[in-house]
Amino acid sequence: MNNLVRRHTKPIYKRCAFTGYRPQKLPFGFNEADPACSALKATLFWKIEALIGQGYAHFLSGGAMATDTWAAEAVLELKAKYPWIILEMVSPFDGQADRWNEGYRMRHDRLFAEADIVTVIGHAYTKSCMFRRNRYLVENADLLLAVYDGLPGGTAMTVDYAREIGVQVFCLAPDLARAG
């Protein structure tokens, strides 16, 4: 995979990056038919649309399972209504989805194929590639939209880093009972 820019972002657009839990940390796991998952995905969609109304038009997704995928899919769906918005997919390394199940791998590949900008952090897996991808997301955003409720791990480190460097963070709890 190579870095690719199909459309450049206008400097007036605000940028929003996504982060959040993988299916293993979500209360509904891989079950996207679960009502809690449907509610979370709908809330992500509505929040992204509200951000477009606030001047956000460049959205960055790390391409991981669950949150990153759902947010990027919402952006692509919203492009029909708001054709000026831009989706940037950011891969930590070539082959990120190679070991995923076929359904998620196909979704991943479609998102990267339809993105306006594709950024590849590295061409081979390293111990630091996910961390470097997350830093790129945060450092290139005005807002970090996170599906996060305090569990330790990569999402927590990304949220902490955003706060540390002064990037605004908006958190949605995975079960939405504690959203905000």
Domain extents in the chain: 4-172
CATH number for domain 4-172, candidates 3.40.718.10, 3.40.50.300, 3.40.1400.10, 3.40.50.450: 3.40.50.450
Tokens of 155: 């999402």
H/E element, 76 = helix 67-78
Residues 38-48, mean pLDDT to the nearest whole number:
96
Q: Residue 113 contacts by C-beta under 8 Å, 6 or more apart in sequence? A: none
Write out the two tokens for 121. 């952090």
**pLDDT value at 176 more than 70:** no
Distance CA 21, CA 147 (A): 6
What's the burial of 45, exposed, middle or buried (CB within 10 Å: 0-12/13-18/19+)?
A: middle
What predicted TM-score, i.e. pTM, was given to this entire model?
A: 0.91
DSSP summary character for residue 118: E
Q: Identify the weakest region by mean pLDDT among 88-92, 102-106, 149-153, 154-158.
A: 149-153
pLDDT of residue 173: 87
d(CA 69, CA 118): 14
What was the pLDDT predicted at 151? 86
